């Protein structure tokens, strides 16, 4: 079955950077889009970024545009989220999600697979 394993979360001061990684297995990674979502306690999961199957197209939520960069290495079956200029409001659990389509999308309904999540905490 499809497995997604995130790593790279942690605690950082405002203005700092973190890089999240997500290792995928269980299907042909290079055929499908990947995304990152995040969720705070008591809130709905929200879209952060997505990347198409080839990596040619990327999409971002307005709240992270210009600060976060999504990328993928199809040879390593891994997707990354580089997070710069972090803010306290970025403090959430971040989930790597695998789409059932090749194009990038912000629609959570297109992502049937997700990992266990990794905590990102940004202090002021």
Half-sphere exposure at residue 29, Cβ-oriented, CA atoms within 13 angstroms: 19
From 2, 32, 19, select the one nearest 70 (Cα to Cα): 19
Q: How far is CA 122 from CA 9, 75, 84, in A?
A: 10, 32, 11
Q: Residue ranges of the chain with pLDDT lower than 50? A: none
For residue 8, the SS3 value is coil
Distances (CA, A) of 91 to 5, 17, 49, 68, 100: 19, 12, 16, 14, 28
């Amino acid at each position: 079955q499809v497995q997604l394993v995130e790593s790279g979360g942690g605690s950082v001061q405002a203005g700092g950077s973190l890089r999240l990684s997500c290792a995928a297995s269980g299907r042909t990674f290079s055929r499908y889009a990947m995304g990152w979502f995040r969720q705070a306690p008591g809130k709905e999961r929200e879209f952060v970024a997505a990347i198409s199957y080839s990596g040619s197209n990327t999409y971002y939520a307005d709240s992270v545009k210009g600060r976060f960069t999504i990328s993928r290495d199809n040879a390593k079956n891994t997707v990354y989220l580089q997070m710069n200029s972090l803010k306290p409001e970025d403090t959430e659990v971040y989930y790597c999600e695998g789409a059932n389509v090749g194009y990038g999308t912000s629609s959570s309904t297109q992502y049937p697979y997700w990992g266990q999540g990794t905590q990102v905490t940004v202090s002021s």
